[in-house]
Amino acid sequence: MASSRRTKPPSRIVIANIGPSVDGGALPVKAVVGEHLAVEATVVIDGHDLVVVAVGCRPVGTRAEVVSPLTATSPGLDRWGGTVSFVDPGPHEFRVLTWIDSWATWVHHAQRKREALAESATGNEELAIELATGASVLDGLAGLVRGDGRNVLRAAADALRSGDSLVVNDAAVWHATRGAFPVAAATASKRYPVLVESPSAAFSTWYELFPRSCSPTPGRHGTLADVTRQLGAIADLGFDVLYLPPIHPIGDAFRKGADNAERAEPGEPGSPWAIGNRHRPGDGPDGGGHCSIHPELGTLADFDHLVAEAQRNGLTIALDFALQCSPDHPWVHDHPEWFLHRPDGSIHYAENPPKKYQDVYPLNFGGEAWRELWDACLAIVRFWLGRGVSIFRVDNPHTKPFPFWQWLIDDVRRTHPHTVFLSEAFTRPAVMERLTALGFTLGYSYFPWRRSKGELIEHFEDLASSPTADHYRPSAWPNTPDILAEQLWDAPPTLFGLRYVLAATLSPSVGIYGPAFELCENTPSWSGKEEYARSEKYEIRSWDRVNAPSIAPLIADVNRIRHEHLAFRSLRTLRFHRCGNDQLLAFSKTSHAGPSTDPAAPASATVLVVVNLDPNGVQAGMVDLDLAALGVDASRPFDVHDLLADAAYTWHGPSNFVELHPDRQPAHIFRVTQA
């Protein structure tokens, strides 16, 4: 047998089943600044020795490591856990560290031996030997400890040799032994990546509108200047992101008409997603493509003014990033090799059978010219980053290659680490999750179709727990320009209200297709599909904010409460509570943030939400609370303050009565406190 060159034998400790991780550590786990990320591992050693386990965390590219202890969460299963938190955004990494705890091992062994020798004639002699062994252990540890701890351990060793076993319970001795576990001597796992982002990456409140429908004069094409004039009203509703569908020139060829008619009538504006028109290029450097502004919307100077005014109103502009082209796009003329071609040589238009999109050409991301195409797509993002855009809603990313998105997002974040990408991919769960694992900040969720109590609980429990929560951040939208869910067909305003309460309190990221939802637009397309009649995707709309029913006051109240309470910024702390009435949904969220000296900082209290799922009738019942999840001492009363109605109650014990009237108050949003 060949001799080993090792100076020490291999470690006896095995570290396994480390979490959280994505693809075994190949892709980063997601976290935000201030979030407590739970770390777990199984740590196994042969024999009866005890171990110390910790987690070491550091920003990528640095050497200094913050080491925090893990505790035994399931001792019989050798499972350890704890949390880490992050001060700064950027790529981080963690690893699990472990050492044999010779002092704890000796104490455990000595205590068992003392019990066994209690009736033995030679007990005192053997115990003396055992104490001497313990002293030797402390001598060895003292050689590894610096400063005052060394003196503490040497004094404790002398005490053991003199027969004083009280040092076994001395906290100072135990504390000093912790210094005998240097990181360099640890058995360590590999490092696992964590992408730490700013809190705004996970917590956001989106409002979507079509600029061309923002004119105060019915029938006139709206402008970016018209959007600028609406910023104050949108900010007053409590939104912090204003998302604009494509603002680029729209193609003339095969332009779609109202209600997605195959041909447009003269004067009809077409779909903004039919991007590009080299014949009517608008204002921009690329002659009417993705870096140009539609001529009727305004100029790049108007856009720059919009971005600046939005920031002044506490809003961030989000742009649509749709990688497709109209037949009139400059790329079709200049780079036909970037597109898919039929056998007859013509370019293949987009299809999603039975739907046909003759006004849109998809790009060929896997063709021979893929490198040039990928670079051109990246250049679009970089152009708008240069004009102050930091948020992109990406249209149909699941129809483009995964490697493309990973490459593009990684490249962007190297120079613009705070850029947010929202994935608009309503498709198979594994595909949606893969996109966010590869780098998308957020992804749309199935919320529009989760209606019943059971469906909502199942959906959000999955989103809030590992492994989904480790990489997938959902954005809950009750509607989009593409989706008018069947439950909203001909629905009363009360249903729109309760759906917004659910979306905004269950999910840290929420959004609405603004005017349509705010004004309770409920007329479905004649086609029988879950789409809007008179869809704003194909025509200019004029929204009647005076006479139409509106849930704007409720939206403003809910958004204010969201921003004032840190608990709504978390999904991992979501807990559902039992209620015998299936039309009442109860859940809570907590925040682990410490007290802040900033009087404007959000409160860190626990919140409890109870929602009436019935838009037509009063619902009442007993809510059976998990008081431990609320941080409440079950032996004492506690206070709940309804933040929507500004009403306070004192509750006793886990079971408490609620009654909700859909037309007056669709929900209780309680702040829970206990003196």
Residues annotated as catalytic (active site), given as ranges: 395, 424
| The amino acid at 493 | P
Helix (H) or strand (E) holding 650: strand 647-651
Place of tokens 């980053």: 385
* 307 phi and psi angles, rounded to 5 deg: -60, -45
Beta strands 509-513 and 204-208: pairing type? parallel
Contacts of 290 (CB under 8 A, 6+ apart): 248, 275, 276, 380, 383
C-alpha closest to that of 594 among 580, 582, 607, 605? 605
Structure tokens of 277? 């028109």
Contacts of 8 (CB under 8 A, 6+ apart): none
CA distance 197 to 362: 32
Question: Beta-strand (E) ranges in 529-574?
Answer: none
Strand, coil or helix: 146: coil
DSSP class per residue in 476-537: E-S-BTTB--GGGTT--HHHHHHHHHHHHHH-SEEEEEHHHHHTT--PBPTTSSSSBTT-TT
C-alpha closest to that of 656 among 673, 640, 674, 675? 640
Beta strands 316-321 and 391-395: pairing type? parallel
Structure tokens of 438? 């590869």
Going from the C-alpha of 232 to that of each of 211, 236, 310, the distances in angstroms are 15, 6, 8
CA distance 300 to 285: 10
CA distance 513 to 245: 10
Going from the C-alpha of 135 to that of each of 117, 172, 185, the distances in angstroms are 20, 16, 22
Contacts of 538 (CB under 8 A, 6+ apart): 256, 257, 258, 259, 260, 261, 268, 269, 270, 271
CA distance 663 to 657: 19
CA distance 638 to 633: 8
Structure tokens of 245? 């569908």
Helix (H) or strand (E) holding 335: none
Contacts 24+ apart (CB under 8 A), 106-112: 106/133, 106/134, 106/137, 107/134, 107/168, 108/48, 108/50, 109/48, 110/134, 110/165, 110/168, 111/168
* 656 phi and psi angles, rounded to 5 deg: -145, 150
Helix (H) or strand (E) holding 69: strand 66-69
CA distance 365 to 346: 17
Q: What are the residues facing 362 on neighbouring strands?
A: 324
CA distance 470 to 26: 13
Helix (H) or strand (E) holding 302: helix 300-312
Structure tokens of 371? 């490198």
CA distance 404 to 366: 10
